[in-house]
Amino acid sequence: MCTGTLLRPDVMLTAAHCVVTLSGSVITQRLTPAQVTVIADALSMDGATDEQRFAVAAITAHERYPANSNMGDDTSVGRHEEDLCLLRLARPITTLPVATVLPVAMADTALSAGTRLSVSGYGARRLEAGMP
């Protein structure tokens, strides 16, 4: 099970390692859209049970994942920087109160000092830290 972030009502960002099957550090299978289901509202903080499932129409993993390099370790599956995947949903998520689209600033977006930003993700907060 993996988490994701809605970039548009029909596009979710997740990790590339979520759409592969591994045997040790070797990818043995890349999942097809028919093998992946997005479940929305499954973990709402208020205990809501309005869980909905969304079929995936297309999977686009980062072109360099796996890169056979993970922080200098040549035996691992892929680099953290390239562990990205976009899921295009067969229908948009529009009816769930907890499913909101995260606005994304483009690389050329000018941000002034003091601009409030949102961060989405999980994992280590520092290179030497473990998972929270």
What average pLDDT does this structure show over 86-91?
A: 96
- Helix count (H) and strand count (E) of the chain? 0, 7
Q: What pTM was computed for the model?
A: 0.71
The neighbour count for residue 120, using CB atoms within 10 Å, is: 12
DSSP string, 89-109: ESS---S-TT--PPP---TT-
Q: How confident is the model at residue 104 (pLDDT cuts 50, 70, 90)?
A: confident
Report the half-sphere exposure of 98 (CA within 13 A, side-chain side): 14
Report the half-sphere exposure of 72 (CA within 13 A, side-chain side): 1
**pLDDT value of residue 123:** 57
**pLDDT value of residue 97:** 62
How would you class 87 by CB atoms within 10 Å of its CB: exposed for 0-12, middle for 13-18, buried for 19 or more? buried
